[in-house]
Amino acid sequence: MILLTINILIGYSVTAADILIPGQPPLRHIRHGDIDIGGIISGLNYSPEGLCGDSQFMDASYHFAESVAHAVDRINRNASILADVRLGFVILDDCMKQATAAVQAMAFLQRDVFEYPTRGEYRDHGTTLETHAIEAYESIKFNESNTCFKINSTERGGIDTARANKPFSKTQLKAYDVVGVIGCLRSSNSMMAAQILGAGQIPMVSFISTSPKLSNREMYPYFFRVVPSDDFLVDAQVELILQMKWTYVSVVFTEGEFGETAYRSLRARLTQVKGHCIAVAQKISQGATYVEHLNIVKNLVQHRRARIVVAFTDPPSHIWLLRASTDLGTGDWFIWLANESWKIFVTEQVQEGAVDGIIAGFPAFVSRSYNEYSATMNPARNPNPWFLRQWEATFNCSILEPECSTNHSADSIPGHNTYVYSDGAYDAVSTFAHAIQDLIGRNCPEKTGRDVRSCITGHELREAIQRASFYSSTGLIEFDAEGNLLSKIYFEQILPKLEGVGYELVRVAVYDTRTSTITTLRNISFAHHDSESIRVDGIPESVCSHPCGPSEYRIQREPACCWECHTCRSNEILVNGHTGCGRCPPFTWPDDTLTTCAPIEPHFAAADDPLLILILSLSAIGLLGVAMVTSAYVRYGDARVIKASSKELSYLQLVAILTGYLTPPVLSVRPNDTVCVTAFFMYCLSFSWSYAPLLVKAIRIHRIFRAGKSATMKLKFISPRSQVAFASLLILVQVLLCLVITLKFKLSAALTQTVLTEKYVELSCDWSLSGLISFLTYNLILISLCSVFAFKTRKLPDNFNESRFISLCVYTTLIIWIAFVPTYFTTSSQYVRRSLLSLSLLVNHSVAIVFLYLPKIYAAVHLVSPESSDDPAELTTANRFVSRQAVPTSGGTVLRVPSTISGAQGHSFQGHVPRAQEEGSAVNARENPEFKVVRGERADAGKTGVPGIPDIFDV
């Protein structure tokens, strides 16, 4: 099938003896021996139209043919192998093209006639006649008819006289009798040739082709190679990429079997490694120009983060890629991880772009012995046609001129000393030599010279190659079942020479294909490259995205190793494999791993908190003040100034003030359900217990002085018992309200996290907003009513100071609440709220002590003497007590109010109080002992401050 396809593509006609191929490559290197080995190498360049181009595809391409010829010479000089057999060679050119490789492979197929050497090309021992070297080259160079004799394939020793003098036409494909073939340079060409040769049972050994497809024994049963497969090369490169922690790389590869297969293998292996990917893959077409290479490098620049560029390329793409990189200013940015064919280009012309690059490949080194040999090559001694053409092109002369050979030296030819495949060529020739010797020993040990050819068949030679095992300069040569060499992959770095100018290859690591491990031979240095993105260990980064931080989640991008990192909020954990964030429930916080939410330790004011210490100190001072006031009221309880202020209601208020001072310490205890309910009741009752009696007092004063305006008004429920009963009813309302709030809103200790993104949770009492507003509203109603009645009694006589102090107390309380309520509801900190509640209690109850108790205690201690309490003059206070006089009349008792209330007030009023009834008059002394009518005499102006007004005690 493959032969039929080639027949159609190339367009040749086949007869029993002749194959016509127009446009065949013009150059070939032939030296016959007892047994010939064929060779298909690359010398001239690729042509998209014909089978071959007209120039060399690279400098010093003659080395590919010469290294095979030199290896044959070495074998022939080695007496330990094939001592009685002289090897020859027939080397043809595939011009870097698959179709041409197929044509040249057909030249080695068995046919009825073969080319027989003439003009001294063959002797008994296969030596070349040097005198015919130039003449033979000129015959090919000027496309003259290369006349030669043919021998019948069945009569190897004789001449086919019928066709002996018939010249070959320019389109006729010559036939060569070879036992095996060495080649090709490109894997795709080797695949084409190996299929044809395999059909003719002719073994083929390559010292360069590395495509994994050539391991297919069904397709290429007669193919072997003395280099590792690209599968091993890619495995070694991937292992190095992993060790260097390069996760983002670019790839350039040559169009054809070698480059495309290697790229697919690399892509498959990197895909299997999590977090590794290829930034961009660029294919270089056959015959690509420098402009195309420049565009490829421009595309690489667009993915600058991929500093590592893996190259699977053939010559001359190496030089053009490096030149393009230098022209674009990225010569010191990209680091090339290349295949072994780059070794021959470590020259000054590519030093800027290639420095620090790493070449991975089979053992291929510049051989000192071969270099010494190649430096002595001369057209007079070496008929290699590619060498002769290179000589003429380099020195711009014709080899027909004697001075062209004598005045120049081969060491002036560019690339003469950079060839690295001479050892590989020797391994390939040695493989055939050892296999042939094995067959001779098995089949015909008695034969020598050309007679051994009859002992060798293609199938038997294949089996002998499979069995071969010997050592060469590159190591052990033996093949696996697929024809692959079991060898090692070496990593060599392009570094400046320690001495002199130029660069050299330094072996830095080796990959064992048997164990799949890398052994580092020396530190891999990148000191000569751009230092940007150099990590601490000195290895340049080649990554698309850096790992996300502990609190970051990843948003995946294309390709797989690229992503964006975004920070989670402080109260969020990483979910879905670190690709998103999830908010922690309230009162919890991410743990150190950011994978789970842990409860937050609630905060409560510590014992050493300054504000808490201040509040507790104020509470203690307040409690001490309550104790002192209570003691004073007990001691001076009979003083009329204390008795006249409703002593019972005053004691009730003292209980409220005591409760208020005890509430802050309760609020300072670590909250629980019991503490919270207790503190709530104490807080509510401390206010209502204080303002309910105060409201009753204000209403009582207002009623009394309102009654003075009417002579017929009868006052009821102004006795101490009645006043206490009214106050108790108002307090009971507050108690019921607190019970309803407690049962409905289930007051308890609760956690509060005001800001969800802060790791701060407070433990506090949850009194609920509705419950708090309810009891505050009730207390505000009591305070508001107190303020209303205080306002109504604002024009009472100056000597009547009880209403004045009630007014001051109420107004101060309102101011405090106006400041407290907005502050409390606008702050979110439970600590601040708890402190505001405590401070508001302390201030309110301290105001009550200051305005309601201290003046009376002062008056009782310093201005009123209990022993002379009936003396109106001694009952006079500095606050101008109101004087009044009760005059009995027929209709009752008239309470006479002074006509002049104050020197500052220019009006008077008179009230009439009806006669007291037995069942209870408003002025009856038994019902209202604080309200006693005393006849007064005209007082001295120094006692009352109001001349001519009698002075009586305060109500």
Report the chain (955 residues): mean pLDDT per 10 consecutive residues.
44 52 90 95 89 85 93 94 94 94 92 49 36 40 35 30 40 90 91 94 92 91 91 90 92 88 90 88 90 94 92 85 88 87 64 81 77 89 92 91 89 82 92 95 92 93 94 86 86 82 84 86 76 66 85 84 87 85 91 89 85 91 92 85 79 89 90 89 86 84 71 68 86 88 85 87 84 81 84 65 76 82 83 87 88 85 55 38 37 36 33 36 37 36 33 33
Query: Helix, strand or coil for residue 638?
Result: coil
Q: How many helices (H) and strands (E) does the chain have?
A: 25, 30
Structure-derived torsion over alpha carbons of residues 546, 552, 558, 559, reported in degrees to the nearest 10: 40
Residue linked to tokens 């660029």: 282
Q: What is the pTM of this model?
A: 0.55
Closest CA to 809 of 772, 782, 775: 782
Q: How many CA atoms lie within 13 A of 146 on its CB side?
A: 22
Provide the pLDDT for residue 31: 94
What is the distance between the alpha carbons of residues 345 and 355, in angstroms, rounded to a whole number?
A: 12
Q: What is the CB neighbour count within 10 angstroms for residue 773?
A: 14
> Using omega within 30 degrees of 0 as the cis cutoff, is the peptide bond preceding 676 cis?
no
Query: What is the C-alpha separation between 900 and 912, in angstroms, rounded?
Result: 17
C-alpha–C-alpha distance, residues 600 and 592, integer Å? 13
Can you give the pLDDT at residue 306? 92
- Tell me how far apart the alpha carbons of residues 206 and 215 are, in angstroms, rounded to a whole number: 12
pLDDT computed for residue 469 by the predictor: 92
The pLDDT of residue 768: 78
- Note whether 96 and 107 are within 8 A (CB): no
How far, in Å, CA of 838 to CA of 824, rounded? 11
- How many Å apart are CA 362 and CA 474, to the nearest integer? 9
| CA gap 207, 420 in Å, rounded | 11
Dist. CA 244–CA 231, nearest whole Å: 20
